[in-house]
Structure 1
């Protein structure tokens, strides 16, 4: 936590001076206690801007490749995700054990009274549109009992477009919504229906905040289709 605070002390004022991020609805994030921050995912830099504007520490999920890469980039990734962001490592290869470990890591953060950040789409948008959510966020919410707070991020895809290593100058807007009332979704009874209803409600709330066009498919499937083509 000391490393996080020291890095935030240096990085936060620099980012705020250079990018002047606009923040709306920050009062919706509790000053203490657990909450799930659910955001759209336009750029690698999303994981920089959210911790910068949120006054409390936010723990994210990060794909295993970020921890396993070699060379200088691997060292930086390990520092940023493991020490600065305090990320929960997740293997996206489909292993049930890896998925379970990621869920348990997220629940542990929330049960400890922390903030957990997650991108319900599961991966970055390939084209700036908002995609169907993965139900892992619902599972985390149901297991932990933590409220879900939707966040709409605007402009990070222009600051650091997909595939670009160096960020550009640009304005970023982060809109924080009120905690979601999931009582109607939870009343559906069947676990699979509840998870899907919660996830769809989260994505709908994010779409209202971000203003993105919505596509009812998974972003990962679109990426795989483009790669195959």
Structure 2
């Protein structure tokens, strides 16, 4: 049994008991071939929940600091995150964005699922912020369909994205998946900034529809800095 299957078998039932996630539309994820999962990002546990509610393994970029800790907690985090599909990348350097893009392209060219949060960071206030165009470049470079998804209520379980999750009666989370979006009509246009923005905005529009969040046409990083 792979480590992913082992983690899912061990933690899946515990997740269902503690968080009671409602999953809608998971059957919309193609059963084979490259797929991009693109969704909102409310809190840290989003990256724990998503791999455990999908029938295929999801690979995603994570900060390399998550797998560098030498303590027992650090080693457990590294075992979990690399086991469920996290690929550690140093995103603080000047070439962090390029490394993340090339990593996603490699995953998709191998026929796997790549998960991405187009906002680039967690929402500072629960609203949905402007998507960055890396999602569009990946879709146009690889021809992979984009399945939008929405995390709902995870920030009520882990406010602020820090500390241990705090499940409580009445607090429910949901993960909703939308219909696959096909952007092959834009093949060869992955350097056209107008096309990249149009594709990104179409994806974010679907995420907004699924999540019900208020949309803010500003990058989340800029909102946090302000």
Do they fold alike, i.e. is TM over 0.5?
yes
Q: Please name the residue that 2:160 is paired with.
A: 162
| Structure 1 position 91, deviation (Å) | 2.8
Pairs aligned (count): 223
More off after superposition, 198-207 vs 19-28: 19-28
Q: Please name the residue that 1:29 is paired with.
A: 29
| Residue deviations 1:2-24 (CA, integer Å, cap 9, x gap) | 11111111000111122221111
Mark the CA change 1:220 to 1:69 in structure 2 (over 3 Å): closer, same or farther. Answer: farther
Q: Please name the residue that 1:207 is paired with.
A: 208
Query: Aligned partners of 2:190 and 2:161: how far apart in 1?
Result: 42
| Residue deviations 1:125-158 (CA, integer Å, cap 9, x gap) | 0110000011111111112111000001100000
Structure 1: unaligned runs, 5 residues or longer: none
Q: Please name the residue that 1:220 is paired with.
A: 221
| Residue deviations 1:50-80 (CA, integer Å, cap 9, x gap) | 1111111111111233234453443233222
Q: Please name the residue that 2:147 is paired with.
A: 149
Query: Aligned partners of 1:166 and 1:187: how far apart in 2?
Result: 45
TM-score (norm 2): 0.90
CA contact (8 A) 1:176 1:209 kept: yes
Mark the CA change 1:216 to 1:94 in structure 2 (over 3 Å): closer, same or farther. Answer: farther
Q: Is 1:90 equivalent to 2:67 in the alignment?
A: no
Q: Please name the residue that 1:55 is paired with.
A: 55
CA contact (8 A) 2:36 2:146 kept: yes
CA contact (8 A) 2:140 2:184 kept: no
Map of 1:112-123 to 2, 5 A cutoff? Answer: 112-123=110-121
| Residue deviations 1:158-196 (CA, integer Å, cap 9, x gap) | 011124311111311111000114367669896111111
Query: Aligned partners of 2:7 and 2:188: how far apart in 1?
Result: 43
Query: Aligned partners of 2:115 and 2:221: how far apart in 1?
Result: 19
| Structure 1 position 33, deviation (Å) | 1.3
Q: Is 1:196 equivalent to 2:194 in the alignment?
A: no
Instruction: Tell me the secondary structure at the aligned position of residue 37 of structure 2.
Output: strand
Query: Aligned partners of 2:190 and 2:155: how far apart in 1?
Result: 38
Query: Aligned partners of 2:86 and 2:173: how far apart in 1?
Result: 23
CA contact (8 A) 1:154 1:173 kept: yes
Q: Is 1:4 equivalent to 2:13 in the alignment?
A: no
